[in-house]
Amino acid sequence: MTVDMMNSPLSESTDDIDNRMCDKEVLQGALHGIRVLDLSRVLAGPSCTQILADLGADVIKVERPNIGDETRHWAPPTFSDDTSAYYATINRNKKSLTVDITTPAGQTIIKQLIAESDIVVENFKVGGLKKYGLDYDSLKQDHPRLIYASLTGFGQTGPDAKRPGYDYIVQGLSGLMSITGPSDGEPHKVGVAVVDLFAGLQLTIGIQAALLARQKTGLGQQVDVALLDSALAMLANVGMNHLASDEIPPRLGNQHPSIVPYQVFEAEGEAHFILACGNDHQFAKLCEVLEVDWHRDERFMTNPARVVHREQLCDALNTRFAQQPRAYWLEVLDRAGVPCGAIHNVAEALAMPQVEARQMIVDFKAFGSPVRALGSPIKLSASPITYRTPPPRLSEHTDSTLTDLGYDSEMIAKLKADGIV
């Protein structure tokens, strides 16, 4: 099952949902009335602006004429209308405006839009917009309420500020790859661009904090988020382990550095599952299921002891788990209250009944679009997320946006002929 446009609680009747869909306050969303000019591209910045758009903000995505966002061309796969799956990931609920910002006429259009915007989001290299008069310092005097959100590889300050940033490279620089992958193999990147996505979330949080601050002070500010800073923050307890001990955290594959047993095990038939005993009580429950008394063995009685004797314990567990199929272990462990779970592929994950219950797959059939998308994990009870429009076609809203700015049809035609829009 997919959800069509509206994120509504499953407990409601069809009539209730229809009534809610007619309620303008609900449809407007929590950020209704907030205007965002999105100068970002690819993943990190657009992931932030999609969250804002899902929450009800009016987002205008600025793209290069005839080319658009690079991700429009990152294919296959595509949907049946040739929309790139990558582009569709982070561009719903937005309007597409094409403008060549390297030209004076294009800069004029952008400045007109900034005058009407609450937020500007950009991910140009540091200083990249200054030559166009579109950097924060050039804009803040005329637009003191403007929130200017910048997402870069290394931030606005420091010796590496002007370096370009890429998720993969930052995963390596930050140490994240050094702790990811098998202990006896090469470092691995995470399977998705996790630093880009995490940085996008940090930018979203910073923007919303700046909006709240503006309510008190009447003034906007610059929000400065870096991929490297975000990746370092993601190190969390592993980074803290180094600060506490000065030891270099090892790469442990699917094992946990501080908890045992907390890793992947292999059942009969090479079927893998996750076992996550987070405390001594859960380990004792595991021992009851296995009909062993390891929880009374001094080597395994406490978690610190189990960490020290990790290899001995895990070898013994592997031997036991290989005697029964995965389904058996998942059933008996779950019944005993021992945290465990299967390792799904993406198709299996999206087919889970829980995914349907949480409405995590949405479609845009009502708009004549074949796009199906992953839904938002944000569930607001009074002003829910809405899925109002599919990812826009390139330049789909250029004419209407320029008309709203006061350009007539002849002016728009000239801008197009000159390659400005």
**Pairing relationship of beta strands 147-152 and 222-226 according to DSSP bridges:** parallel
Q: Which residues of 155-183 are buried (b: 16+ CB within 10 A; e: fewer)?
A: beeeeeeebebbbebbbebbbbbbbbbee
Instruction: Pull the structure tokens for residue 240.
Output: 């803290």
Q: Do the beta carbons of residue 65 and residue 96 sit within 8 Å?
A: no
Spatial separation of the C-alpha atoms in residues 232 and 313, rounded to whole Å: 32
Q: What is the rounded CA–CA span in Å between residue 134 and residue 112?
A: 11
Separation CA 187–CA 185 (nearest Å): 7
- The continuous run of DSSP H or E covering 121 comes out as strand 119-122
Task: Residue 88: name the closest of 296, 363, 284 by CA.
Answer: 363
Nearest alpha-carbon partner for 63 in 119, 110, 133? 110
| Distance, CA of 418 to CA of 271 (rounded, Å) | 61
In this structure, the strands spanning 35-38 and 58-63 are parallel
Residue 358 structure tokens: 């949480």
> Is 339 exposed, middle or buried, given 0-12, 13-18 or 19+ CB atoms closer than 10 A?
middle
Pair 362, 4: CB distance under 8 Å:
yes
* DSSP character string of 155-206: -SSSTTTTS---HHHHHHHTTTGGGSS-TTS-----SS-HHHHHHHHHHHHH
**What span, in angstroms and rounded, lies between the C-alpha atoms of 257 and 237?**
9
User: What is the rounded distance in angstroms from the CA atom of residue 17 to the CA atom of residue 4?
Assistant: 12
- Helix (H) or strand (E) segment spanning residue 374: strand 372-374
- Residue 111 is inside which H or E element, if any? helix 104-115
Which of 38, 135, 167, 196 is an active site residue? 196
| Active-site annotation holds for 135 | no
Distance CA 201, CA 212 (A): 17
Catalytic residue IDs: 196
